[in-house]
């Protein structure tokens, strides 16, 4: 397997030295840099978003600055709002459901690194997918860690660090995030 195949399979891969991975990541960084310099009213924004993601999500509102590593591993549902200064570290798939509001300065981090420094120093990492269900609100400055699934109808309080799966219709907050209460879905 090459390093990109390893990355997509959730295996340890060389994220920092492999030329194919670096080329893809830098091309995406360049496109995000261009997007972040465009006026929100520029009609070319949607064309560039389409190029970054590989498709144009229905009724997406994406505010700049926005950053991602590859773009092609991001799947956004309908009616998604992404506020200023969000980062999608999309070595693995990041799936966002329909009608999701994402506050400013949030991070979706699929990468994890070896605990032992001699392995970490080789540039190895593993990417684990993140999934956010429909009808969620993610507050400002939230960090969502590798491998986390957030159910539908959830509220993630500002500043939360989500390290574990969140059941449907839950409000979570804190570091690490814990359930504050269950939300009546009716």
Catalytic residues: 113
CA distance 31 to 43: 16
Lookup: tokens for 102: 């994402």
Q: What 3-state DSSP class applies to 168?
A: coil
Determine phi and psi for 150, rounding to 5 degrees: -110, 125
Strands (DSSP E) along 78-160, which ranges?
81-82, 86-89, 94-96, 101-102, 107-109, 111-112, 124-127, 130-132, 137-138, 143-144, 149-150, 155-156
CA distance 126 to 28: 19
């Amino acid at each position: 397997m090459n390093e990109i195949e390893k990355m997509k399979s959730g295996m340890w891969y060389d994220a920092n030295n492999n030329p194919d991975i670096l080329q893809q990541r830098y091309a995406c960084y360049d496109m995000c840099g261009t997007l972040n310099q465009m006026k929100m009213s520029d009609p070319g924004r949607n064309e560039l978003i389409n190029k970054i993601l590989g498709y144009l999500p229905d009724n997406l509102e994406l505010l700049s600055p926005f950053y991602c590593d590859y773009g092609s591993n991001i799947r956004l549902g309908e009616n998604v709002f992404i506020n200023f200064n969000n980062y999608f570290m999309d070595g693995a798939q990041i799936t966002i459901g329909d009608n999701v509001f994402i506050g400013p300065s949030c991070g979706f981090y699929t990468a994890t690194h070896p605990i032992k420094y001699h392995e970490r120093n080789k540039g190895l990492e593993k990417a684990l997918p993140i999934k956010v269900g429909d009808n969620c609100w993610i507050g400002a400055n939230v960090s969502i860690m590798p491998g986390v699934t957030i159910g539908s109808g959830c509220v993630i309080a500002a500043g939360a660090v989500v390290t574990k799966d969140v059941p449907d219709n839950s409000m979570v907050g804190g570091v690490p995030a814990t359930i504050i209460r269950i939300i009546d879905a009716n």
